[in-house]
Structure 1
């Protein structure tokens, strides 16, 4: 009788995201890295590829699931993985993980917004998730926020602002202390 293989890496990753199970996620990532090294492949690329292709039956990626369930510690590990796509769009609502995070905060009792929900949105914004992306209903994450949650609205507005001016700030820094080379003559 053949031995059953058990859950695939994709299934393990998604389960870790649902349950905020950091041990399962770290073991799965370590197993993927080890298998990649043994086969002569680059571990970071294999891990990123597996994470980016880990979807559930309705098209939610690992970040979508972690945000939906408020799995902060798992998000922290995932967002540290090189090559992870952070603005993936789900198949049903065309939501990003940031949309899912706002929906998670809205599902909480008002007393849990700040201690439980806001850190989920904050970690995604800090990782560079784009709060300007619109979903299937043409709504940005900001437009999904419970109107009473002024702090979350402010966080997302600041995120949008920093994305809007981010390119301008980088362009200004390119001249360096001596100016551009065309001014040298």
Structure 2
């Protein structure tokens, strides 16, 4: 890396080349401010594509550095690029070329909290990009269902708190 490269340029390079040593170096330089590293990851973008480090690492299947990024406090798991695609969209596309590693990355992104219901600028969710991979399709469909269920449970719990338990039988009224 050129001596004058900014942390953002170095971070993009880490993502492109799966360079965990450089990633650790950047982290060590920002050690005095724990939030700064997460903010750097969140704010760093390629100019043309709008891809951030998570997108780039996923695009190239660079799991080692992606895993390290996901462990940084404050990292946004679902940043969107210029096409409004999240790293999960990119991972699903990657799985068409590398089914096993792609599945592994998708599974780990979901475990980290990635939302499979995010729409890109074409109005498509990550599941829409699955190509000939029934196992991946099932994983994403289950994650979407679990997310919808969790959102429904949260809404129901929120409503119960607001009502203070009044009119508990009224759920059948809203068909």
Show the counterpart of 1:133: 118
The partner residue of 1:163 within 140, 143, 147 is 147
Q: Please give the alpha-carbon distance, in whole angstroms, between the structure 1 residues aligned to 2:136 and 2:110.
A: 11
Q: Which residue of 2 aligns with 1:19?
A: 17
Instruction: Indicate whether 1:89 and 2:80 are aligned.
Output: yes
Of 53, 62, 69 in structure 1, the residue corresponding to residue 43 of structure 2 is: 53
Displacement, 1:48?
Answer: 1.3
Instruction: Tell me which residue corresponds to 1:71.
Output: 62
* Corresponding residue SS for 1:87: coil
List structure 1 runs of 4+ shifted beyond 3 angstroms.
167-174
Counterpart residue number, 2:53: 62
Structure 1 residue 6: Cα displacement: 2.0
Give the distance between the partners of 1:173 and 1:136, measured in 2 at CA. 32
Provide the rounded CA distance (Å) in 2 between the counterparts of 1:87 and 1:139.
Answer: 15
Structure 1: any 5+ residue segments left out of the alignment? 38-42, 175-181
Please tell me the root mean square deviation across aligned C-alpha atoms, in Å. 2.2
Scaled by the length of structure 1, what TM-score is found? 0.79
Matched residue pairs, number? 161
Structure 2 portions without partners, runs of 5+: 159-163, 166-175
